[in-house]
Amino acid sequence: MENRNQIAVFGLGFVGLPLALSFAMRGAKVVGVDIDTRLIKELNQGITHHLEAYQGESIQEILKTQLAFGRFEATADPTAAMEKCNSFIVTVGIPVVDGNGYMGHLESVSKTIAKGLKKGDLVVIRSTVVPGTVRSFIQPILEESGLKAGEDFFLGYASERIAEGKAFDEFENMPTLVSGVNEASAKATEKLLKIVTKAEIVIASSIEVVETSKVLENLSRDINIAMVNEFAKFTKKMGIDIFEVIKVANTHKRVNLLYPGPGVGGYCIPNAFYYLKPRADELGVGLELSAAARAINKGTPNRVAEMAVKNLQVAPKDAKICILGMAMKDYSSDDRMSPALDVIEALQSQDIEVAVYDPAIPAQHPYLADRLEDALQNAHGIIVLAKQDGIDFDKLEYFRGFMSGDKPFIIDTRNIYCKELVEGKGFVFEGL
């Protein structure tokens, strides 16, 4: 089988960029393709806002090194990438809008690849998709090239299983699932991924098996988190700490409860139900448990906002609330589908002024403050939604000096604080 060390990665987001650099670090020549020209310019200048590292080296350092070695370049011109490369990896996602997956981005990149597809090329889809998408949607588009999948070119699927913040390590050490339209495609996909992956690579019997397993992996976490978010309401009424309850429950060797939070964010877990539902509807299969879990997690940010409103000592229209951390999870620079966005929207719907401090978020928002002090100034309460290295949560007395009222509140959704300590510093405290 021919050398596949000329690789194009389509989509340079939280998955695509560290994946591209993972190949480059191991000697492959990689072209990263994205339609965002500003992103392309920044990457070619060695600039990225991702919070990733590998063996003590930041992704910023890795990017600059691979650019200098000539093993990575970014471009908005897919034609040049198609000409240079013989392996193409797609990391473009399917956004969910109003409960429906939007296939436009995946369709567009598939058509782009089809225009430049050559005999012997390998196409690997790593996007999380509705089960059946690769065979019924992507393959026909690629075959508009006049080439047949499995005969003239290889077509494989490998589910993406990384956690943001651990991308480099998990690309290398997480067991990887692959399949293809035929055995030759599966083997070609396996060989390509072995450049990066040291862990076991499992070849499944069909693409549909891997597509479905990926969605179920994410959906299982949505259901687990929904369960503990529901338990949190029960333990709160009982007057006991949900985090302690889970900690002691998890001493059982066959129990692995996740922890509750302000909701479920990011691109993967909240979308999982909506990736499975279209296929389930076609097959006439109900997803009652999954639907209920999604509803619980979707409603949790409103519950957090209601806690804050309940603790206000002034009318909502006269109130300001400071939110600390708006990333979709702790120590992340990703605010896509973050529960913080829903908490903010719920507060603003009641005419409450919201100021947010999160030094890791590069996105522009009108309520995002450049300085912690500006977010705290004259605030009547704080909601902690995500931990970040750039926020010193221990500086309660410092926080208190900027805030309004004789009893400002802290809503802690991340189990950072001890209730007695917070109340001893002059705050009203409420946890999940």
User: Taking a C-beta distance cutoff of 8 angstroms, is the pair 297, 262 a contact?
Assistant: no
What's the pLDDT at 1?
45
What's the pLDDT at 2?
57
Q: Distances from the Cα of 184 to the Cαs of 154, 199, 203, in angstroms? A: 7, 21, 11
What's the pLDDT at 80?
86
What's the pLDDT at 364?
85
250 in helix, strand or coil?
coil
CB neighbour list of residue 73: distance below 8 Å, 6 or more residues apart = 30, 31, 32, 44, 67
Query: Is 268 labeled as catalytic in the residue annotation?
Result: yes
User: Taking a C-beta distance cutoff of 8 angstroms, is the pair 293, 226 a contact?
Assistant: yes
**Residue 180 main-chain phi, psi, to 5 deg:** -155, 175
If one counts every other C-beta atom within 10 angstroms of the C-beta of residue 395, the result is 11
What's the pLDDT at 293?
97
Query: String of b and e for 131-150 (b: at least 16 CB within 10 Å)?
Result: bebbbeebbebbbebebebe
Residues in the chain with pLDDT < 50?
Answer: 1
Bridging pattern class, strands 87-90 and 122-125: parallel
Bridging pattern class, strands 53-54 and 57-58: antiparallel
Q: Which of 85, 268, 322, 418 is catalytic?
A: 268
How far apart, in whole angstroms, are the C-alpha atoms of residue 6 and residue 82?
10
